[in-house]
Structure 1
Amino acid sequence: MTSKCHLYFPPSVAILIIISSYYVYVIGFCVYVIQDLLASCLYIVFLNILFIMFLWSFLSTVATPVARVPLEYQLTLEELENYHRVDNQNKDLLLKTIKSKRNLVLHMCTAQGSIRYCTLCSQIKPDRAHHCSVCGFCVLKMDHHCGWVNNCVGFSNYKSFILMLFYCNMYCIYFTSTTLEYFISYLNAPDKRYLPVVVGFGDILIVIIFVMAAFLGLMGGVFFLFHCGLVFRNETTLEKLQESIFVQQNSSYNLGCFKNFTEVFGKDWRLWLFPVFSAEVIYIAISEKNLTP
């Protein structure tokens, strides 16, 4: 139990930062700095929308169970015994026999042209599945293991992860843009106190949160744009780092920008902005030759 405490530290820090920024904005900025009641209420309303959507996306990414490999890819005890009994040259032949018997569709292979097999999980790897050393099992369409959510990002929660980055970026942009004038005025007159002592913190706290939000928004924006590029190319982070090898040459998962997008977000546009699972189950490697008219 103690050895796993460090896994929960990054998500706890993320939650603490977002709640602290929310408190500083609502109480410190909207209540004590903004003099116009209508403007203050509007600021709070828009902040709450972004806050709720980010928190929803964050918790969905954290709590969504990781998509594991289906049972039909796992070897039985008899098959496993045979696998360990035969020599390396015949192992792939045995796996191909199992694949044919179960009608498994596999487009990817190893660099040697063999079937991808996980020795730790004792199972054939489906296309785009990878073993996560942190989780301890193979994950379908694994993108990466994210320490900030203490969960693997893959087929089951990739949409929630993208929306988490999006709403985090929007939250930071909203925070910095609405408090920018206050931040500049504080820099020009640092001795002027805007907040009464009863608030429990001084102006410097809003300035600190402003700087943190600006930095987080910049970093989150870069990360968000990176994953947008992956979505529209139908790639994962692991596939970006190491190119996939297909049984049939000139194959690709790139189905075109819109189909790539709907594979993650689904075809129902009404669900695109909500962190609920709506992905299209598409695991088809198509030949580039078939794309040409």
Structure 2
Amino acid sequence: MFLMQKELDWHIFENKAQEHCLHRGMHKCKTLIYLLLYHAIFVFFAWTYWKSIFTLPQQPNQKFHLSYTDKERYENEERPEVQKQILVDMAKKLPVYTRTGSGAVRFCDRCHLIKPDRCHHCSVCAICVLKMDHHCPWVNNCIGFSNYKFFLQFLAYSVLYCLYIVTTVFSYFIKYWRGELPSAHSRFHVLFLLFVACMFFVNLVILFGYHCWLVSRNKTTLVFTSGPEKNGFNLGFIKNIQQVFGDNKKFWLIPVGSSPGDGHSFPLRSINESQNPLLANEEHWEDNEDDSPGE
């Protein structure tokens, strides 16, 4: 629906550009610049939207899954403390540092795997997604490690797209306000374009600003307010940005994969376990029989 609306804006904008620019005396060079800028923004908008939709969410690799033997032991064991110890023994062999609020190993009882850091289970996709941020209905996809960069770029180019429409149509809105647009058809197009572009612009700026704030602190939507990992990955402003866009700045504006790492482990705020807010020593883990290992 969102893309259909943008395609409608595209056709209206081109018609208005030809009608108001070519047939009403605007210099052809200025018209050409307007159209080139518009199509350049539209191409990047559509490209990033496509990448956000069709880039599959990345799942944990096989080493995080319980083996057949461990799975049988875990499912057949009725004592919670023994189940917990089975997961502890497995987690010691993996690059996993985050724990649940009670200090237990983060285990997904639906996918039967130990969750890597920043990995969460998506109830819509029914899979565990690496560095999951959220499930986005507008792109019908999980936003996580594999496509978070593309999603941010999509928001950025959407904001730029709407802003461009507003700035180029606003002069004709002034003409409409002064009664200088004789055609009723033209008046409808101008009002419709300006209203839709402003509506999307305001909402997209808020959403884009929120995600920029998350990136600046290396957080995700799921854990930005609470949880043991809410501050543990904050490496500083520049490094936080590089964790999403990569070290090579020439790829920051292009929707190609450049995020560092494999999505299973991430640089920590502190190497020292005693100082790292992410890491919980086993002797500090709480025995809470009310909390299941799968939570």
Q: TM-score, normalised by structure 1?
A: 0.86
Residue of structure 1 in register with 2:208 after alignment = 224
1:122 to 112, 115, 136: 112
TM-superposed CA distance for 1:133, in Å, is 0.6
- Would you identify which runs of 4 or more consecutive aligned residues in structure 1 move more than 2 Å? 284-291
Q: What's the Cα RMSD here?
A: 1.9
Residue of structure 2 in register with 1:33 after alignment = 20
- Give the secondary-structure state (helix, strand or coil) at the position aligned to 1:16: helix
CA contact (8 A) 2:53 2:141 kept: yes
Percentage identity across paired residues of the two chains: 31
Residue of structure 1 in register with 2:243 after alignment = 263
- The structure whose residues are more often helix, as a share, is 1
CA contact (8 A) 1:69 1:139 kept: yes
AA partner of residue 254 (structure 1): N
1:277 aligns with 2:250: no
CA contact (8 A) 2:165 2:193 kept: no
AA partner of residue 111 (structure 1): G
Which blocks of at least 5 consecutive residues in structure 2 are unaligned?
277-295
Q: Deviations over 1:139-169 (max 9, x none)?
A: 0000000000000000000000000000000
In the aligned structure 1, how far is the partner of 2:19 from the partner of 2:8? Answer: 16
2:37 to 31, 34, 46: 46
In the aligned structure 1, how far is the partner of 2:181 from the partner of 2:168? Answer: 22
Q: How many aligned positions are there?
A: 266
TM-superposed CA distance for 1:187, in Å, is 2.8
2:48 to 51, 54, 57: 57
TM-superposed CA distance for 1:90, in Å, is 1.3
CA contact (8 A) 1:25 1:206 kept: no
Residue of structure 2 in register with 1:19 after alignment = 7
In the aligned structure 2, how far is the partner of 1:93 from the partner of 1:80? Answer: 13
CA contact (8 A) 2:169 2:193 kept: no
TM-superposed CA distance for 1:14, in Å, is 1.3
2:191 to 178, 187, 207: 207
Q: Deviations over 1:250-274 (max 9, x none)?
A: 9710011111101100011110000
1:92 to 84, 105, 116: 84
Residue of structure 1 in register with 2:284 after alignment = none
CA contact (8 A) 1:251 1:288 kept: no
Residue of structure 1 in register with 2:169 after alignment = 179
Q: TM-score, normalised by structure 2?
A: 0.86
Which blocks of at least 5 consecutive residues in structure 1 are unaligned?
1-12, 195-200
AA partner of residue 24 (structure 1): I
